[in-house]
C-alpha cells in the first residue's frame, strides 16, 4: 500500500492487546500510519511501536473544533482519528475494530476503480446472500425485506466502476444484529467470492469493521454520536450511500479479509440498542432517497448537513448532532486550506 495509507481504530484496550499489537507490527512493516483513539477509561501509559495513541488529553490538544463537544465513552471518538490521519496527509483511510484480526488480504493494494457486478435500482439488497447460501443478513438490514428474493449476480452487468467506499466482510463472527445472534448459529464464514457494487436505488448497510475510504469520500466518514450506539456506523452508511449516488459512486463489497473474535457483549442490551434500527431503517432509507441533493464534490458538505437535518427531524438523532457535523466540516475545510 502507498505510504499515504492510514489505519484508524478506537479502543479502550491496553497496549498489550493482541489485535492492536498485530496491527501495529504489520503497519510498521508496511509504512502505514496507525492511529488508536482512546477514551476516558483507556489504560495508561499506552506505548506500542508502530502505533500513535491519542488519549483524551492528546485529542484535545489537536485543536480540532469537533473535540470540544464530542461525547466521551462513545465510538464517535473515532472521528478524531480520521481528522488526525487526514491532517497527516492520508489519501486512503482503513478502519477496523480491536476484535478483528487481519488476514493477508487486508494488506493488499486497494484500487478506487474496481471490477464488480453493479446492482442499481434493486431496493434492499442482502449482500451477504451473494457470499453464502446460509440464512444470514448484515446488522442494520431492514427486517421488512429479509424475505426478499435475491437475484443471482448473472443478472447484473460486471464492469469497472468508481468506488471510493469499500466494505470487506468478516469471517467467523460476521457483523450481524442481535436477532441473528440470539436465534441462529455462529461462528460461520463466507464460502463464496464475489465482487458487488451497489449504486443508485440499492441499499445495504455497511459497517466500520473492515472498511476502506478514498480521499474524495473522506467527508462521509463522520460517525454520529447522538443516536443509538449500535446504529452509529449503520446510519452513517445510509447517509454515505445516499450522497454517493449524487457523485456517480458505487459502494463496493468484497470477500472477508478479517476474522472477528468478538469482544464480550450483552446480547439483550445490543437488542435493545438496535430497536431504533429495527423500527426505522427502512424509513430512514426512504426519507434519504426522497431528499433533493446536489451533485459534485463541492456539494458533499451541504448534502451531509441536509441528511443529518432529516435524521434529526425523524427524531432518531439528537439536535446536538447538527453542530458536531458543522464542526466536522469546519475542521475538514481548515485542513484543506492549510494544505493549499
Predicted confidence (pLDDT) per residue in 234-277, tens digit: 999 999 999 999 999 999 999 999 999 887 889 999 999 999 99
pTM confidence score: 0.96
* Separation in Å, CA 262 to CA 166, 209, 302: 22, 11, 37
State the DSSP string of 277-324.
Answer: HHHHHHHHHHHHHHS----SGGGHHHHHHHHHHHHHHTTSS-TTHHHH
Predicted confidence (pLDDT) per residue in 159-196, tens digit: 999 999 999 999 999 999 999 999 999 999 999 899 99
Average pLDDT for the chain = 95
Q: What is the dihedral of CA 226, 229, 233, 239, to 10 degrees?
A: -40
Which of the 8 DSSP states describes residue 336? H
Domain boundaries, the chain: 1-98, 121-339
For 35, the grid coordinates are 492511529
Parallel, antiparallel or unpaired: strands 251-260 and 165-171: parallel
Predicted confidence (pLDDT) per residue in 208-231, tens digit: 999 999 999 999 999 999 999 999
Quote the CA–CA distance of 125 and 102 in Å, as a whole number.
Answer: 26
Look at residue 340 and tell me whether its pLDDT is greater than 80: no
172 forms bridges with which residues in the sheet? Answer: 188
Burial class (CB in 10 A: 0-12, 13-18, 19+), 252: buried
Give residue for cell 469482544.
263
Can you tell me the mean pLDDT for 29-35?
Answer: 96
Amino acid at each position: 500500500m502507498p505510504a499515504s495509507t492510514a489505519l484508524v481504530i478506537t479502543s479502550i484496550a491496553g497496549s498489550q492487546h493482541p489485535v492492536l499489537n498485530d496491527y501495529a507490527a504489520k503497519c510498521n512493516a508496511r509504512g502505514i500510519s496507525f492511529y488508536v483513539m482512546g477514551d476516558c477509561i483507556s489504560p495508561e501509559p499506552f506505548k506500542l511501536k508502530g502505533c500513535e495513541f491519542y488519549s483524551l488529553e492528546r485529542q484535545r490538544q489537536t485543536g480540532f473544533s469537533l473535540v470540544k463537544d464530542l461525547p466521551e465513552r462513545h465510538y464517535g471518538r473515532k472521528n478524531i482519528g480520521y481528522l488526525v490521519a487526514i491532517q497527516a496527509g492520508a489519501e486512503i483511510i482503513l478502519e477496523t475494530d480491536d476484535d478483528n484480526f487481519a488476514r493477508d488480504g487486508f494488506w493488499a493494494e486497494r484500487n478506487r476503480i474496481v471490477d464488480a457486478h453493479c446492482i442499481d435500482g434493486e431496493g434492499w439488497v442482502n449482500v451477504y446472500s451473494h457470499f453464502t447460501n446460509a440464512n444470514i443478513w448484515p446488522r442494520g438490514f431492514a427486517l421488512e425485506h429479509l424475505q426478499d428474493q435475491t437475484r443471482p449476480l448473472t443478472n447484473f452487468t460486471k464492469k469497472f466502476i468508481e468506488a471510493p467506499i469499500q466494505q470487506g466482510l468478516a469471517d467467523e463472527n460476521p457483523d450481524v444484529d442481535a436477532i441473528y445472534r440470539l436465534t441462529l448459529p455462529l461462528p460461520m464464514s463466507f464460502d463464496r467470492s464475489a465482487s458487488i457494487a451497489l449504486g443508485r436505488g440499492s441499499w445495504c448497510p455497511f459497517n466500520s469493521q473492515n472498511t476502506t475510504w478514498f480521499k474524495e469520500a473522506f467527508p462521509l466518514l463522520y460517525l454520529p454520536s447522538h443516536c443509538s450506539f449500535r446504529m452509529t456506523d449503520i446510519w452513517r452508511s445510509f447517509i454515505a450511500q445516499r450522497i454517493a449516488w449524487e457523485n456517480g459512486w458505487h459502494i463496493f463489497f468484497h470477500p472477508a479479509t478479517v476474522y472477528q473474535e468478538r469482544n464480550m457483549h450483552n446480547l439483550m442490551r445490543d437488542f435493545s440498542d438496535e430497536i431504533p434500527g429495527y423500527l426505522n431503517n427502512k424509513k430512514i432509507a426512504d426519507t434519504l432517497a426522497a431528499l433533493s441533493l446536489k451533485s459534485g464534490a463541492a456539494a458533499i458538505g451541504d448534502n451531509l448537513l441536509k441528511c443529518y437535518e432529516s435524521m434529526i427531524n425523524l427524531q432518531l438523532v439528537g439536535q446536538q448532532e447538527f453542530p458536531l457535523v458543522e464542526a466536522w466540516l469546519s475542521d475538514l475545510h481548515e485542513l484543506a486550506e492549510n494544505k493549499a
